[in-house]
Amino acid sequence: MSEGLKLQDKPVVSFLGPKASYTHQATLGAFNEQDFTLNPVITIEDVFASVQKGTAYRGVVPFENSSNGSVVFTLDLFADLQQKYPDIIVCGESYIAVQHCLLGHHSDRDTQPPLSLSGTSSGPGVIESPMSSGAVTPTTKEPVPQKPTARPVGDLSRIKKLYSHPQAWGQCKVFLNTYLKSVEKQDVSSTSRAAQLVAEDDSGESAAVSSIIAARILGLDLLAKGIEDRGDNTTRFFVLKKAPSSSTSASATVEPTSSTAAASKGKADEQAGTGDWKTLVSFTVDHANPGSLAQSLAVFAKYGLNLTSINTRPSGVENWNYIFFVELKGKKEEDTEDGPVNQALKDLDSVCRAWRWLGSWENRLVR
């Protein structure tokens, strides 16, 4: 087999791109580039579509941020009101510490020394969050200080437009409200796309909330570093795969599509985790029936399943009706009706309108 063919044979992992997005960083942590072709796509929906179509073996999407909450785009795709993604399930998770930066072009008038792009080590003139900035150190009493923990280098008055992923605004509220309050903010598909747009704009009037890696790749200046409200800002990503049949069925294991894949599964699938499992389930209830939500949740309590999160999104059927997402500690067992998760799902049938198992995966959260 030629080297070219072998390369083409590598299983594809699609992720929210372009390169240097936080999702790219999560993908690199879970899948190595020797064994997998990492394929950046434009939207989170493109990731779902590629896995559903089978053009990607796995997909990586953001799911939740520790300070700004759920990624609603991802939840809506799991809600799948148009039934475009019936076979998508979660098979892994990954947590990434997210340190946002303000990226742009230094102005000639800037007198302060530039921030270092080295990422970890401070150079002369580097303002590391939260020191030396007139900044405030977060404490357990005040985890989100009222004053920003980072200070910009130089003058930001020329910035007329900011680009970022909508999730990022809510993670940097204190800095943005202090230094760029009335600047127009434009949502784009990812933080690395935001950095690309700023790199293409020579006027110096735009800036992006993005990563230090995007600054390095695109040759942008760091106008401020560590602008997130909380030092422990973390985003959780899901690894998606395609289940062989309806995801409500008892078994949902997909095998790698190529020999290379068989030899090397993704780290997110394989890594030793904390030894426990999580499961995601969505369901709808009869809103006219008092107690239907309580009865549905009681099913999980009946089997001793600890719920770790609850989310809702509009059901799309009727106004003020919702689809509920619960995440719980436990695993849906394959090829059996036994096990607390399997039994709870069976019981759920009689108390809710419809439900869908959205995957079980090994917990990677280390406390």
For residue 52, give both structure tokens.
């559903």
How near is the Cβ of 247 to ligand PRE at its closest, in Å?
23
H helix or E strand, kind and range, residue 49: helix 44-53
Residue 232 or 286 with smaller CB distance to ligand PRE: 232
Task: List interacting residues with ligand PRE (CB under 6 A).
Answer: 16, 21-23, 62, 65, 71, 98, 165, 167-168, 190-192, 235
Residue 97 CB, shortest distance to ligand PRE, in Å, is: 10
The least distance separating ligand PRE from the CB of residue 5, rounded to whole angstroms, comes to 32
Q: For residue 203, with 0-12 CB atoms within 10 Å meaning exposed, 13-18 middle and 19 or more buried, which class applies?
A: exposed
Of 22 and 300, nearer to ligand PRE (C-beta) is 22
**Measured distance CA(231)–CA(146) in Å, rounded:** 14
Report yes or no: 225 and 150 within 8 Å, Cβ to Cβ: yes
Structure tokens at 222: 């760091």
Nearer to ligand PRE, 208 or 326 (CB): 208
71 or 223: CB nearest ligand PRE: 71
* Least spacing, CB of residue 26 vs ligand PRE, in Å: 7
Nearer to ligand PRE, 71 or 261 (CB): 71
Handedness of CA 208, 212, 214, 215 (dihedral sign): positive
- DSSP secondary structure, 167-189, as one string: HHHTTSHHHHHHHSTTSEEEE-S
Burial class (CB in 10 A: 0-12, 13-18, 19+), 9: middle
What's the closest the beta carbon of residue 58 comes to ligand PRE, in angstroms? 16
